Amino acid sequence: MNEAVFAQVREHVGAVAREAAVTNGVLALLIEPASLLEVVRALKNAFGFDMFLDVTAVDWPGREPRFDVVWHFYSTKHFVRVRVKTRVAVADPTVDTLAPFYGSARFMERECHEMYGIVFRGNDDLRPILLYEGFEGYPLRKDYPKQKEQPLVPYRDAKP
């Protein structure tokens, strides 16, 4: 049954996907940022991928474009998952928001934004959600110093 759904999806989005392979029971699509909305619209409306599981990013220092942005969707109709990946450069780490399709994307995009600096075009509320106001930098990027501290409370002078 998974294979049937995956075959239909591959047939449908094959024109825009650079890669479409099944790994560990998940269909993984690699697409261009420009075709994101088209692919997600098809996944949601035509194939019943109605649950937005997560959006996150992967930092590949030294690679160009540097970031993978990764979405996971689940279909409560077919009980399968699909992973959508795209690549963005550090100079312009911008992809489209999925908030019009999935309301929960608004919060998850906030987390991805504060941790990796990915900008979601169309999401008007990218305030920090786990970090605090005034935090500088993107802590899950590989070039963020591991032990850098940005305390909110000034430290006491003498440490006993």
Partner 1 sequence: MNAQPARPAPSGAFEYLTTKKDEFVGWARKFSLFPYPFVTACCAMEFMSVSATLYDTDRFGAALPRFTPRQSDLLMVVGTVTHKQAPVLKKVYEQMCEPKWVIAFGVCATSGGFYQNYAALPGIDRIIPVDLYIPGCPPRPEMVIDGIMKLQDKIARERHPIITDRF
Site for partner 1 in 35-74 (CB under 8 A): none
Query: How far apart are the C-alpha atoms of 100 and 154, rounded to whole Å?
Result: 42
Residue 129 token pair: 């959600």
CB of 159 to partner 1, least distance (A): 6
CB of 113 to partner 1, least distance (A): 15
Site for partner 1 in 123-152 (CB under 8 A): 130-132, 139, 144, 146-152
Q: Are 24 and 6 in contact (CB under 8 A)?
A: no
By CB under 8 A, the count of residues binding partner 1 is: 17
Task: Convert residues 72-111 into a mask of x (bound to partner 1 by CB under 8 A) and - (unbound).
Answer: ----------------------------------------
C-beta closer to partner 1: residue 3 or 143: 143
Query: How far apart are the C-alpha atoms of 26 and 53, rounded to whole Å?
Result: 13
Cβ of 155: how many Cβ atoms within 10 Å? 8
Q: Are 49 and 75 in contact (CB under 8 A)?
A: yes
Q: Is 26 exposed, middle or buried (0-12, 13-18, 19+ CB in 10 A)?
A: middle
Residue 97 identity? T
CB of 151 to partner 1, least distance (A): 5
C-beta closer to partner 1: residue 121 or 159: 159
**What contacts 24+ positions apart, CB below 8 Å, involve 111-115?**
112/55, 112/56, 112/57, 112/69, 114/138, 115/57, 115/139, 115/140
C-beta closer to partner 1: residue 91 or 152: 152
C-beta closer to partner 1: residue 48 or 139: 139
C-beta closer to partner 1: residue 117 or 139: 139
The binding site for partner 1 (CB under 8 A) comprises 130-132, 139, 144, 146-153, 155-156, 159-160
